[in-house]
Structure 1
Amino acid sequence: MKKTFLLPTFLMLSTPALAESDPLQACLDKAGASTDGIIELCSEKASETYKKQITKSYNAIFAHYQKTEPEKAKSFEEAQKAWLVNRNKNCDISDSKQKCLMNSNKQRAEELSEREKTLAPVESVQKPPLLSPKKDIMFDKKENVKWVMDGEKQSAELTYYFQTLKTGLDWLDNLLLQQFSPDDKNVTREKIISALTKSYNEQKTEMKESYSSSSFWVKQSISFVGQKSNLATFISNDQGYYGGNYEVDQDKYLYIDLVNKRLFELNDIFTKQGLEEVKKLLWETYQQMDYKFEDIKKSDFPVSNIFQIHGSIITFYYRKSSIAISAYGPQELSISIDGLKTFIKSEARQLFE
């Protein structure tokens, strides 16, 4: 149901444009006098004119937000209620309540009128596409690499599997494909398949020449988690077993802005000062851990743009150049979102709600 903010009963719901640029002066000119009583009466009439303009602009802006940005419609409604309360309190203690109401209504009418003029037509507002991605297996090879050592046949399993998604949007397909690029440049499908084929063949040759009896496998995939308005969430999963005890299984969450066609990064979520505060909190949290390394300095503690939001927790991942994986230190630390909300940019709160 469409929600319309109802002003007090004295604020009429008719919406004519302002008949005069200065309704107070027009009333005084018509009266032909400026006694205190006439000024009071004309102030009241002018105030009513401004109230009608407030209602007209408010309803137009609220309806626009309901269609384009529902979260902003709610905030706009609350702001109008707060303005009314503040206006009434200020004018109750004014020397001339009627003049105060008129001036406040005039100022608000002008503010809302200007905001109404800046609204883009609803039909021109870009709507995010609804995604239904399909699997796109671009490389899938598996074989037993065989050789003979000391007269006996030996073998080890070699597996390469790479799977991305087809979303129907070329820019998004390329962005997802970029997750398989080691240099962030080699993003065409053909070039990536060529690089994978070369790597596969080189690994097969190395296994034969080194007589390795350990399996070697790499599996990388992109999966679709879901979509909320203009925000789509994907997971890039990286698994691998490289012989011996070196095994990897890592998830990287990708938050995609479908309207602006790009990845959400920490700078999109936090203000500059807020991100500095986040880094301080992460450092303090790390200092409280039972298991940490004394040679890790605060200056070596930046965070990457890899992060995960799950329920009421946001997990930050550290740059591998400063805090490496495995024995060299932790890869990640998690902090409650409630402890970070004061640092979060309002336009990014959709990630956290």
Structure 2
Amino acid sequence: MKKSLLTLLIASSLALSACDDKAVQAQNTQLSQEISQKDQTITKLNSELTALKSEVEKLKAELKANQLAAADNLSAIFVKEQILFEKSVVGLLEDKEQLAELEKEITDKNSDDWKWQTQTPIEYQVSSLTTGIDWLDKLLIDQVFDYFSVAGSEGNPEVKIQNKQQLTSLLDKWVANAVEEAKAFRSIGQTFDLDLNFLHQKENMATFTLFSHTYAGGAHGVYSTNYIVVDLKNKKKISLDDLFTKDNQAKLKERLWESYEARSRDDNGQMHNTWVEKAEFRVPDNFYFSDTGIHFVYSVYELGSFAEGEIELDFMWQELNPLLNKAYQKELKESKFR
């Protein structure tokens, strides 16, 4: 009886052990399956992540390309006038001798003749432009300030205008001096105008003019037009040195002189004296671009009489391309200035 009971206990123990092993095996199998599923999920997610990263890189490249394209294809410039200085006063003649002479000629001091002889209209105005583009607005107003800046020389201090306050102070002195002159001398008027104007834009090239006119008596006033050609892509004013090396500027000077000399020939081909000698002739740093070529502008009286005005010497693009710096040959081509 005891042996049978012992045998039964051993058999039961073995049966329970076998059941436990099966449960563990089943659990291990389930865990292995779950691990395999998780590994597959991780592999799938890694694949999706790689695809997403690739898509992000493509989008970044597309964004950069669009930004570069936007930089190359600048939008149209819109300008607004900005008055920097404006003053209008009347200077009254106070010189007793001149007033006494006028009293002999004009008895009615309320007449227009009396006012015209004794009152000097004095008008000063300076204006710039705003475009809404910070760097361009600064470049343009600096051109206005530079107009009034003068390098120092013996007996004459340097004048450096860097802001509107300094400009106002300088022009207030000019107006005050004009009023003092009007007290001592009869004059029909004194005017000074300096205006910055927008001429045109050709893709990444914009051209402005700084036009000045001064009248202080006499048969006519004096005027000048300074051209400002701005490279919008590189954010700078284009200078003569940007376009031509020093050696090529010497070659350009010869071509300009030949063009100027040709103006002195009459219809029969006869050469007449030029207004200026070749030794005094120069290459101006005043020019502008057009669809046909480059136009070099000389000041009034520089190459001819006042009646001839500002003389321009023009060249087709194909004439100057061999002399232009390579960088601007490319820029000009891109801008369709050819």
Match of 1:26 in 2: none
Please give the residue correspondences for 1:209-288 in structure 2 after superposition, counting only pairs within 5 Å. Answer: 209-210=184-185, 212-288=186-262
What one-letter code is carried by the residue in structure 1 that aligns with 2:184? E
Alpha-carbon contact 2:193-2:212 (below 8 Å) kept: yes
CA distance, structure 1, for counterparts of residue 134 and residue 198 of structure 2: 16
What one-letter code is carried by the residue in structure 1 that aligns with 2:264? D
Match of 1:190 in 2: 165
Please give the residue correspondences for 1:318-337 in structure 2 after superposition, counting only pairs within 5 Å. Answer: 318=298, 323=302, 326=305, 332-337=311-316
Which whole-Å deviations, capped at 9, do the CAs of 1:277-307 have from their partners, x for residues lacking one? 2211111122233287569443432212111
- Between 1 and 2, higher relative CO (CA 8 Å, sep ≥ 6) is seen in 2
Which whole-Å deviations, capped at 9, do the CAs of 1:152-183 have from their partners, x for residues lacking one? 55112211111111122333223222333322
TM-score by length of 2: 0.59
1:259 CA drift (Å): 2.9
What one-letter code is carried by the residue in structure 1 that aligns with 2:168? I
TM-score by length of 1: 0.57
How many equivalent residue pairs? 234
Which whole-Å deviations, capped at 9, do the CAs of 1:77-107 have from their partners, x for residues lacking one? xxxxxxxxxxxxxxxxxxxxxxxxxxxxxxx
Match of 1:306 in 2: 286
Percent identity over paired residues: 25
1:146 CA drift (Å): 2.5
CA distance, structure 2, for counterparts of residue 342 and residue 312 of structure 1: 16
Match of 2:106 in 1: none
1:199 CA drift (Å): 0.9
Alpha-carbon contact 1:309-1:351 (below 8 Å) kept: no
Which whole-Å deviations, capped at 9, do the CAs of 1:16-44 have from their partners, x for residues lacking one? xxxxxxxxxxxxxxxxxxxxxxxxxxxxx
Change in Cα spacing, 1:301 to 1:256, as seen in structure 2 (3 Å) is: same
Report SS of the residue matched to 1:214. Answer: coil
- Is 2:323 aligned against 1:339? no
What one-letter code is carried by the residue in structure 1 that aligns with 2:138? N
Change in Cα spacing, 1:294 to 1:332, as seen in structure 2 (3 Å) is: closer
CA distance, structure 2, for counterparts of residue 294 and residue 224 of structure 1: 34
Which whole-Å deviations, capped at 9, do the CAs of 1:34-88 have from their partners, x for residues lacking one? xxxxxxxxxxxxxxxxxxxxxxxxxxxxxx9xx9xxxxxxxxxxxxxxxxxxxxx
- Is 2:54 aligned against 1:122? no
1:133 CA drift (Å): 1.8
Q: Please provide the CA RMSD for this pair.
A: 3.4
- Is 2:137 aligned against 1:157? no
What one-letter code is carried by the residue in structure 2 that aligns with 1:137? I
CA distance, structure 1, for counterparts of residue 208 and residue 222 of structure 2: 19
CA distance, structure 2, for counterparts of residue 237 and residue 295 of structure 1: 24
